[in-house]
Homo-oligomer: A and B are copies of this chain.
Amino acid sequence: MAFYLQKQGHEVGLMDIDICGPSIPKIMGMEGEQLHQTSLGWEPVYVEDNLAVVSIGFLLNEPNQAIIWRGPKKNTMIKQFLKDVYWNKLDYLVIDTPPGTSDEHLSIVQYLKQTQPEGAIIVTTPQEISLLDVRKEITFCKKVGLPVLGVIENMSIFICPKCKTETKIFPPTTGGAIKMCQEMEVPYLGSIPLDPLIARSCDQGKCYVTEFPNSLASQAYNKIFKDLINKIQPQDPKSQ
């Protein structure tokens, strides 16, 4: 999402509030980078001129280090990310949360209440065991008054690279994300097929959609993100 917005020419900030398992530095290819203190505040790490990233991963001395923190300490860190980072001008701030409905989620919603965030994008896989958690996350959003922009179904099908047979690796035993979205009355945004090159791109810190623009999954990502942007900002001056 952040990559997509950045490629559209927007000024994008990406904030990783998964304190105990920050993966954004790796995915963005910026592992080993550090946040720097300036007179204006913490300076984020720039992936591109118009894509700036903040993550606790940039504060670790070595990548295996564990952040063994209870909730209150995590909340303080999130507050600091919001208060003390000097972002320059931003068109979009994308926030990556861990799964669940606990401290990180309560804190970010509470701290951002005044700014009226556009909403939450929720990712699931097709099987019921994932949807079970996602339903709770949607209930959370409704309770705290955060709009649900929609649900993306990830890892929907796998196409054998040899014989092209489609397999539903995580079977949608209760109807998958589409049916769940109908039941919970939230928008269904689309499905992404499972492509081993996605995991590989993440590991290599590369943007899968740029690397493999013609893949089925890239086409799905692009459609989903395009629809989302139109939904958030139908009158965006830059796209006119």
Contact = CB atoms under 8 A, between A and B. Distances in A.
Given A160-B167, A163-B162, A203-B173, A137 B102 contact: no
A237 interface: no
Interface in A135-182: 135-140, 143-144, 158, 160-163, 165, 167-171, 173-174
A184 B165 CA distance: 38
Contacts of A71: 70-72, 102-103
Given A128-B26, A129-B199, A70 B103 contact: yes
A18 to B, nearest CB: 9
Contacts of A169: 158, 169, 194, 196, 199
A140 B67 CA distance: 8
A64 interface: yes
Contact of A20 (B66, B102, B135, B204): B102
Interface residues of A, number: 59
Contacts of A170: 196, 199
Given A103-B70, A162-B163, A169-B169, A64 B135 contact: yes
Contacts of A74: 102
Contacts of A27: 129
Contacts of A202: 127-129
Contacts of A102: 19-20, 68-71, 74, 103
Contacts of A203: 127-129, 171, 173-174
A135 B31 CA distance: 15
A141 B161 CA distance: 39
A50 interface: no
A65 B167 CA distance: 32
Contacts of A173: 199-200, 203-204
A190 interface: no
Contact of A165 (B70, B105, B161): B161
28 contacts: A20-B136, A21-B136, A23-B129, A23-B133, A26-B128, A26-B129, A26-B132, A27-B129, A65-B136, A66-B101, A66-B139, A68-B101, A69-B101, A70-B102, A71-B71, A74-B102, A102-B103, A127-B203, A129-B199, A158-B169, A160-B163, A167-B196, A169-B194, A169-B196, A169-B199, A171-B196, A173-B199, A174-B203
